[in-house]
């Protein structure tokens, strides 16, 4: 039943503060949407609205014709929408394997799965996220990168069509980020649509097909990664003027290097 996820005029108010105002965009099946914006721009709030944790003050999120706001939280995953939490929420006293199996038991395919089949599914997914080596450990024993992997495995156990990833790469080192990106590409290749909130610009540019930029609760840009990053509005709101200067410097260095190579042909080094 995969279809377009429509985010339509979302506004979200907390007391006197509008965390989101009139945010609209659509997510095509199979795409990877990167959601970026400075701290406090409303990214996590939007994730909470899409996953049905918050009911929006205005507007609505629809997936395959169903209004998410009408669906209780525990039923959202039955629609095919799963999420990870920015602050990971593992079941600390269960093993890694059990954590994932719970998702398999109660997710979209859960009613058709026996306990044993759920554990088999968990084993498959632990393989996918490379956690098989710690399957029998308590979730509370895991390192931060492994907790993030577990969070992804739990969400995948729900057999989602759309996966919302809230800062799964925060706190990871460069190698771990590369591994995480590889994992997300694998997941996307299996037909899962991804909505990715991330601070790491390099990571989000390399994986997204579309980028949506939020600033102070408003959508200020949307489009292909290169176009969005070139937009002066985005540079100003999010990246700051220093970034622009640095890019110019980098371009200058690169052209000088090219120049130098042209003067001294490669044979001279041999």
Closer CB to other proteins, 62 or 78, in the complex: 78
Determine, following the binding rule CB under 8 A, whether residue 102 of this chain makes contact with other proteins: yes
Provide the minimum distance between the beta carbon of 256 and other proteins in the complex, in angstroms, as a whole number.
51
| Residue span binding other proteins (CB under 8 A) among the ranges 5-13, 90-98, 184-192, 235-243 | 90-98
State the SS3 of the chain. CCCCEEEEEEEEEECCEEEEEEEEEEECCCCEEEEECCCCCCHHHHHHHHCCCCCCCEEEEEECCEEHHHCCHHHHHHHCEEECCCCCCCCCCCEHHHHHHHHHHHCCCHHHCCHHHHHHHHHHHHHHCCCHHHCCCEHHHCCHHHHHHHHHHHHHCCCCCEEEEECCCCCCCHHHHHHHHHHHHHHHHCCCEEEEECCCHHHHHHHCCEEEEEECCEEEEEECHHHHHHCHHHHHHHHHHHHHHHHHHHHHHHHHHHHHHHHCCHHHHC
Residues 211-230 binding other proteins (CB under 8 A) are none
CB atoms closer than 10 angstroms to residue 127? 12
Determine, following the binding rule CB under 8 A, whether residue 121 of this chain makes contact with other proteins: no
Determine, following the binding rule CB under 8 A, whether residue 48 of this chain makes contact with other proteins: no
Determine, following the binding rule CB under 8 A, whether residue 89 of this chain makes contact with other proteins: yes
d(CA 67, CA 8): 11
Closer CB to other proteins, 114 or 264, in the complex: 114
Closer CB to other proteins, 110 or 217, in the complex: 110
Question: Which of 10, 68, 83, 187: binder of other proteins (CB under 8 A)?
Answer: 83
Provide the minimum distance between the beta carbon of 162 and other proteins in the complex, in angstroms, as a whole number.
14
Determine, following the binding rule CB under 8 A, whether residue 117 of this chain makes contact with other proteins: no
Closer CB to other proteins, 128 or 200, in the complex: 128
Determine, following the binding rule CB under 8 A, whether residue 135 of this chain makes contact with other proteins: no
d(CA 166, CA 145): 14
Determine, following the binding rule CB under 8 A, whether residue 59 of this chain makes contact with other proteins: no
Contact 215, 237 (CB under 8 A): yes
Determine, following the binding rule CB under 8 A, whether residue 194 of this chain makes contact with other proteins: no
| Residue span binding other proteins (CB under 8 A) among the ranges 19-27, 152-160, 196-204, 256-264 | 152-160
Determine, following the binding rule CB under 8 A, whether residue 51 of this chain makes contact with other proteins: yes
Closer CB to other proteins, 77 or 207, in the complex: 77
Total residues at interface with other proteins (CB under 8 A): 37
Closer CB to other proteins, 89 or 245, in the complex: 89
Determine, following the binding rule CB under 8 A, whether residue 210 of this chain makes contact with other proteins: no
d(CA 156, CA 35): 20
Contact 164, 90 (CB under 8 A): no
**Binding positions for other proteins, rule: CB under 8 A:** 51, 53, 72-78, 82-83, 85, 89-95, 98, 101-103, 105-108, 110, 115, 118, 137-138, 140-141, 154, 157-158
């Amino acid at each position: 039943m995969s279809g377009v996820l429509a985010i339509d005029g979302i506004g979200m108010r907390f007391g006197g503060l509008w965390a989101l105002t009139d945010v609209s965009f659509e997510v095509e099946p199979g795409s990877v949407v990167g959601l970026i914006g400075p701290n406090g721009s409303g990214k996590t709030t939007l994730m909470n609205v899409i996953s049905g944790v918050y009911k929006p003050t205005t507007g609505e999120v629809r997936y395959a014709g169903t209004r998410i706001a009408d669906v209780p939280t525990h039923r959202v995953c039955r629609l095919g929408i799963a999420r990870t939490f920015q602050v990971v929420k593992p079941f600390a006293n269960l093993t890694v394997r059990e954590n994932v199996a719970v998702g398999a038991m109660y997710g979209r395919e859960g009613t058709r799965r026996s306990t044993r089949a759920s554990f088999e599914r968990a084993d498959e997914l632990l393989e996918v996220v490379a956690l098989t080596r710690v399957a029998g450990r308590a979730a509370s024993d895991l390192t931060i990168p492994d907790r993030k992997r577990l969070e992804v495995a739990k969400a995948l156990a729900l057999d989602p069509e759309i996966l919302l990833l809230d800062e799964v790469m925060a706190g990871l080192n460069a190698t771990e980020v590369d591994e995480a990106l590889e994992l997300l590409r694998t997941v996307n290749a299996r037909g899962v649509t991804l909505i990715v909130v991330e601070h790491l610009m390099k990571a989000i540019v390399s994986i997204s097909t579309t980028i949506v930029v939020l600033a102070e609760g408003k959508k200020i840009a949307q489009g292909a990664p290169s176009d969005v990053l070139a937009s002066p509005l985005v540079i100003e709101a999010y990246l700051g003027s220093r970034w622009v200067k640095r890019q110019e410097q980098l371009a200058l260095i690169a052209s000088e290097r090219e120049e130098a190579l042209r003067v001294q042909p490669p044979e001279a080094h041999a």
